[in-house]
Amino acid sequence: MYNLVRKSSTTMSSIAQHEHLLTVGLRVVHERGFGRTTIQDIVRAAELPQGAFARHFRSKEDFGMQILDIYFANSCETIAQTLRNDALPPLQRLRDYLALNRAHLERDGMRNGCLYGNFSAEGADHSELIRQRIVDIFAHVQDSLSYCLQAAARAGLLRPRLECDEVANFAVASLQGAILLAKAQRSPAPLERFEQMLFSMIAA
């Protein structure tokens, strides 16, 4: 009985340490960039010994994939509340999605941008696995935008003969560009202009 309890306690401690490294490491990578962040930066910020990282992650690439999964899980929650929320009017879903993204970016004064875009700019050069994961994530976002737009089209809220998949593709690319400008300018203005232009292009 004593050995069983001791083993359970050790396992929980290991899980907590793993989660702590991911939480702190995600913040550090988001602030500094994946390429500029070292393993030593992560363990120092987590206030853990250097060997802690190797106990939980096979490599920096493995760590990068795991923090992307955490960020993506949060994105999926936002998408479920907005773009794929059939209880809301379609165009309200789209506005809510953009508003939540803007609010997330404003929490750090527009300094850190979008983790996906940051990884695309520099993390994907270091890892084919990370590059493909980013591609898959953007595809999911695009598909969710298209889902919302198709609902709006069925409700007669969009311009006739609008290609929802193409508009969604354009929106993902343009939103990433707006986030990059917002990061450079430390201002939400590029995001606001993007939203205005998107709705003027699609609304009936």
91 lies in the same domain as 190 = yes
39 lies in the same domain as 74 = no
Predicted local distance difference test score (pLDDT) of residue 62: 97
Q: Which of 36, 57, 78 is the C-terminal boundary of a domain? A: 57
Residue 9 has pLDDT above 70, yes or no: no
- 89-100 pLDDT, tens digit each: 999 999 999 999
* Span 5-13, average pLDDT: 43
Residue 11 has pLDDT above 70, yes or no: no
Q: How many domains does the chain have?
A: 2
70 lies in the same domain as 165 = yes
Query: pLDDT class for 13, splitting at 50, 70, 90?
Result: confident
35 lies in the same domain as 2 = yes
Predicted local distance difference test score (pLDDT) of residue 6: 34
- 33-42 pLDDT, tens digit each: 999 999 999 9
CATH of the domain at 123: 1.10.357.10
Distance CA 43, CA 64 (A): 14
2 lies in the same domain as 65 = no
- 47-67 pLDDT, tens digit each: 999 899 999 999 999 999 999
- 65-84 pLDDT, tens digit each: 999 999 999 999 999 999 99
198 lies in the same domain as 109 = yes
Quick one: which of 60, 96, 63, 92 has its CA closest to 77?
A: 96
Predicted local distance difference test score (pLDDT) of residue 159: 96
111 lies in the same domain as 18 = no
Q: Would you say 101 and 174 are in contact if contact means Cβ atoms under 8 Å apart?
A: no
CATH of the domain at 15: 1.10.10.60
Q: Which of 57, 77, 99 is the C-terminal boundary of a domain? A: 57
The alpha carbons of the chain give a radius of gyration, in whole angstroms, of 20
Q: What is the mean pLDDT of the chain?
A: 91
Task: Look at the alpha carbons of 92, 93, 98, 104 in this order and tell me if their dihedral is positive or negative.
Answer: positive
46 lies in the same domain as 102 = no
80 lies in the same domain as 37 = no
Query: pLDDT class for 17, splitting at 50, 70, 90?
Result: very high
89 lies in the same domain as 173 = yes
105 lies in the same domain as 46 = no
Residue 126 has pLDDT above 90, yes or no: no
**Entry pTM:** 0.88
Residue span of the structural domain in which 155 resides: 60-202
DSSP line for 27-90 = HHHHHH-TTT--HHHHHHHHT--THHHHHH-SSHHHHHHHHHHHHHHHHHHHHHHTTT-TTS-H
Q: Which of 57, 77, 100 is the C-terminal boundary of a domain? A: 57
64 lies in the same domain as 47 = no
